[in-house]
Amino acid sequence: MSPLVTVVSSSRARLFACLLKLGPQQVSPRQLHTGVSCAAKDHYEVLVLGGGSGGITMATRMKRKVGAENVAIVEPSERHFYQPIWTLVGAGAKQLSSSGRATASVIPPGVEWIRARVVELNPDKNRVRTDNGKEISYKYLIIALGIQLDYEKIKGLPEGFAYPKIGSNYSVRTVEKTWKALQDFKEGNAIFTFPNTPVKCAGAPQKIMYLSEAYFRKTGKRSNANIIFNTALGTIFGVKKYANALQEIIRERNLTVNYKLNLIEVRADKQEAVFENLDKPGETQVFSYEMLHVTPPMSSPDVLKGSPVADAAGWVDVDKETLQHKKYPNVFGIGDCTNLPTSRTAAAVAAQSGVLDKTISRIMKNQTPMKKYDGYTSCPLVTSYNRVILAEFDYEAQPLETFPFDQSKERLSMYLMKANLMPFLYWNFMLRGHWGGPAFIRKVLHLGMS
Ligand code: FAD
Ligand code: UQ1
């Protein structure tokens, strides 16, 4: 397809100019609806790489600053997903269809959508290259490319997903398989894994375990189930306050946790999972399963690995307080693709977006950035179909709680917030640039308290 019609914009002036040049047969009704850019520009004041949580949020904020016509987003996917709800989709508590919307519908009106993949970054020339051969230059660059799922690093995957009894909440392709495996469970081992790499939402691999246990109880299958969490880590959660609460739940509900076990192979035809023991190199353990939930290994997107904007591990190398690139002052990073030393979540992206907005404003005026990101992140730890422990913490792994009650307790109110309020907040406020995290609520609710 010609790049002329792969670029979508809602600028009316462009649409009319474009219609004059293109025959009606070249413009589909859908494109007419969203608007079609006749010729994408090849230079933007602000170029955003990735149209996920961080990319859309920052594009909206940048549009307010420099005008829609000066902002573009490079994003190949037709659908935009609210991934946090996949935990509940995997447990059958929400529909997958509720998690996605057309990317065209979340691109801020007037902002150019370049429907392509970035294949090369050249920050020394202020340029990127896309997979359709386009070179785009920019004055300011925001990198929001997310984290890559590496299922293929596990022997037997992804092809093993063609078999039953195995699912993964981390991908739109496999999340409904988790729910199917739960429903099909009869008796045996239900195994949940956590890989030996950085991940997004580090609580999600165990949330589905608690939900599965609740489902087995509800359906009278609990006594037939041996529930096992095999994690490559040495702890259940990185923040002591919440780790203690989770340990108590694990004890009460008779769940087995094996530390330092890393999934390396799935023999889906035999319903076997092979783990390496990270404390005893060369030693492996084979578990048979009746249900397997896989959290895949993850890494920085391939396009960043070895790129000039990345650190040695492939993450965008930014200042942890301002989110400005350490070497290229007109380059910024947000979200899962950065080396910010905090837990990768949409909640963190929300807080980062408020800071990055301020950082870029000052850079544009040749001023020094002032606003500092404290590492705020949040993980609503779903512990059953109506309970959540709301973990919120900072760079020091210290609790940074919004509400004036003990958030390490399981609560219905926090479940309702996770399941209903958060999706609403995400689509209507965060993506529209009006949600920079709950710091202001925390300040109000904690007025007069230490
Ligand atoms: P993403 O939103 O993943 O966006 C990255 C974008 O970059 C994608 O649209 C992708 O298509 C695009 N892209 C990739 N490569 C290229 C390329 N080469 N060129 C152009 N575009 C490219 N967070 C919470 O706050 N709370 C939760 O409860 C929670 N639960 C979760 C549960 C699950 C199962 C999962 C999977 C995630 C969960 N998260 C949660 C994490 C949250 O979804 C992510 O941290 C958040 O989406 C990160 O935003 P991002 O913009 O960095 O990346
Ligand atoms: C949050 O800001 C956010 O981003 C929209 C989430 O992502 C889905 C969250 O899960 C949470 C918990 C927050 C924090 C918000 C409040 C009100 C504590």
CB 382 within 8 A of CB 416: no
Q: Which atom of ligand 1 is nearest to the CA of 119?
A: 18
Angle at 40 between CA 325 and CA 366, to 5 degrees: 30
**Stated pTM of the model:** 0.93
- Whether 337 sits among the annotated catalytic residues: the reply is no
CB 104 within 8 A of CB 11: no
Beta strand 261-267 with 272-277: parallel, antiparallel or unpaired? antiparallel
pLDDT on residue 447: 81
CB 411 within 8 A of CB 388: yes
Q: Please name each of the domains of the chain with its CATH number.
A: 3-147+300-364 (3.50.50.60), 149-298 (3.50.50.60), 377-445 (no CATH)
For atom 6 of ligand 2, the residue with the nearest CA is 347
pLDDT on residue 27: 29
| Distance of alpha carbon 172 from alpha carbon 190, whole angstroms | 21
Model confidence at 448, pLDDT cuts 50, 70, 90, reads low
Tell me which of 18, 38, 201, 337 is the catalytic residue: 201
Amino acid of residue 432:
R
Q: What are the tens digits of pLDDT across the range 106-156?
A: 999 999 999 999 999 999 999 999 999 999 999 999 999 999 999 999 999
- CA–centroid distance, 16 to ligand 2, in Å, is 40
pLDDT on residue 14: 37
Name the 3-class secondary structure at 45: strand
- CA–centroid distance, 344 to ligand 1, in Å, is 9
- Whether 201 sits among the annotated catalytic residues: the reply is yes
Q: Alpha carbon of 96 to those of 89, 146, 192: distances in Å?
A: 6, 20, 21
- CA–centroid distance, 336 to ligand 1, in Å, is 7
Dihedral, CA of residue 69, residue 74, residue 76 and residue 77, to nearest 10: -70
Beta strands per DSSP E along 134-187:
135-143, 148-149, 166-167
pLDDT on residue 449: 63
Query: Residue 120: beta bridge partners?
Result: 129
Query: Phi first, then psi: what are they for 193, rounded to 5°?
Result: -115, 160
Model confidence at 39, pLDDT cuts 50, 70, 90, reads low
Tell me which of 18, 38, 337, 379 is the catalytic residue: 379
Ligand 2 cavity residues, CB under 6 Å: 84, 346-347, 350, 378, 380, 402, 422, 425-426, 430, 435, 437-438
Lowest mean pLDDT among 6-15, 54-63, 273-282, 378-387: 6-15
